[in-house]
Amino acid sequence: MLMDNVDVYNLMILKQKIVFCPPMASAVTHAMISKGCTPLKASQGEYYELTLWNKMALPSLDPAALEIERVDLVCGVNNVEHHTELNGVGRLVVRRGQPFTMTLHLRPGTAFKLGASINLIATTGPEPSEVMDTAIKFGLNKFISPARWSATAELKSESAVSLTVCSHPAAPIGLYQLALDQGTGVSLCQFVLLFNPWCKRDSVYMVKEAERQEYVLSQDGLIYRGKPKCISELLWTFGQFEPGILNICLKVLDQSLKHLQDPIQDCSDRRSPVYITRVLSAMINSEDDKGVLVGNWSGNYEHGIRPTAWKDSGSILRQWYNQKCRAVEYGQCWVFAAVACTVSRALGIPCRVVTNYGSAHDTNSNLVIERYYNKFAEDISDDAIWNFHVWVESWMTRPDLQLGYEGWQASDPTPQETSDGVFCCGPVPVRAIKEGDLSAKYDAPFVYAEVNADVVEYAILDDGSTVKIDSSTTEVGQCISTKAVGRDEREDITHLYKYPEGSEEERQVFEKANHQNRLIQNEEEPGLKLKIKVNPSMMVGSDFDVYAQVKNNTDSKKSFRLTFYAQAVTYNGKLGETCGLTVLTGTNLAPAEGVKAVLRLQYSMYGKAIAQEQMVRLVALLIDKETKEFHRATKTIVLDSPSIDILIQGDPKVGQPIMVEVMLQNPLPELLESCVFSLQGANLTDSTATSNEVGSVGPKELATAELEFTPMVSGRRKLVIEFNSDKLSSIQNFKNLVIEE
* φ and ψ at residue 427, rounded to 5 degrees: -80, 145
CB contact burial 296-335 (16+ within 10 A = b; e otherwise)? beeeeeeebbbbbbbbbbbbbbbbbbeeebebbbbbbbbb
Question: Where does 35-133 have alpha helices with state H?
Answer: 75-81
> Which residues, including other chains, have CB under 8 Å from residue 206's CB and lie 6 or more apart?
197, 212, 215, 216, 350, 395
Any binding-site annotation on 247? no
- In one letter, which amino acid is 718? K
- Separation of CA 237 from chain center: 11
The string of DSSP letters for 270-326 reads TT-HHHHHHHHHHHSB-SSSS-SEEE--SS--TTS--GGG--BHHHHHHHHHHTTSP
Cβ contact 268:133 at 8 Å: yes
Pairing relation of β-strands 454-460 and 368-373? Answer: parallel
- In one letter, which amino acid is 626? E
Q: At what angle do helices 333-347 and 313-322 cross, to 10 degrees?
A: 80
d(CA 125, CA 615): 48
- Identify the three-state secondary structure at position 506: helix
The residue annotated as part of the active site, out of 259, 389, 515, 631, is 389
CA dist 641 → 224, 613, 692, 697 (Å): 15, 10, 20, 16
Any binding-site annotation on 506? yes
Burial class (CB in 10 A: 0-12, 13-18, 19+), 200: exposed
- In one letter, which amino acid is 261? Q
Any binding-site annotation on 452? yes
- DSSP annotation of 251: H
d(CA 430, CA 733): 32
- Residue 254 is a catalytic residue: no
- Identify the three-state secondary structure at position 554: coil
- Residue 259 is a catalytic residue: no
The residue annotated as part of the active site, out of 333, 424, 425, 675, is 333
d(CA 577, CA 569): 8
- In one letter, which amino acid is 394? S
- DSSP annotation of 244: T
Any binding-site annotation on 624? no
Nearest of 259, 303, 311 to residue 280 by alpha carbon: 259
Q: At what angle do helices 273-283 and 333-347 cross, to 10 degrees?
A: 140
Burial class (CB in 10 A: 0-12, 13-18, 19+), 612: middle
Q: Compute how many other C-beta atoms are within 10 angstroms of the C-beta atom of residue 382.
A: 12
Please count the CA atoms within 13 angstroms of the CA of 209 that sit on its side-chain side. 1
- Separation of CA 298 from chain center: 22
Cβ contact 351:392 at 8 Å: yes
- DSSP annotation of 700: T
Three-state secondary structure readout of 585-610: EEEEECCCCEEEEEEEECHHHHCCCC
CA dist 68 → 19, 42, 92, 104 (Å): 12, 21, 19, 7
d(CA 731, CA 221): 16
Cβ contact 556:575 at 8 Å: no
Q: At what angle do helices 245-254 and 273-283 cross, to 10 degrees?
A: 90
Burial class (CB in 10 A: 0-12, 13-18, 19+), 183: middle
Please count the CA atoms within 13 angstroms of the CA of 584 that sit on its side-chain side. 23
The residue annotated as part of the active site, out of 412, 437, 443, 470, is 412
- Residue 333 is a catalytic residue: yes
Q: Report, in angstroms and rounded to the nearest whole number, the Rg of the chain calculated over CA atoms.
A: 31
Binding-site residue ranges for Ca(2+):
452, 454, 501, 506
Binding-site residue ranges:
452, 454, 501, 506
Q: Which residues are catalytic, by number?
A: 333, 389, 412
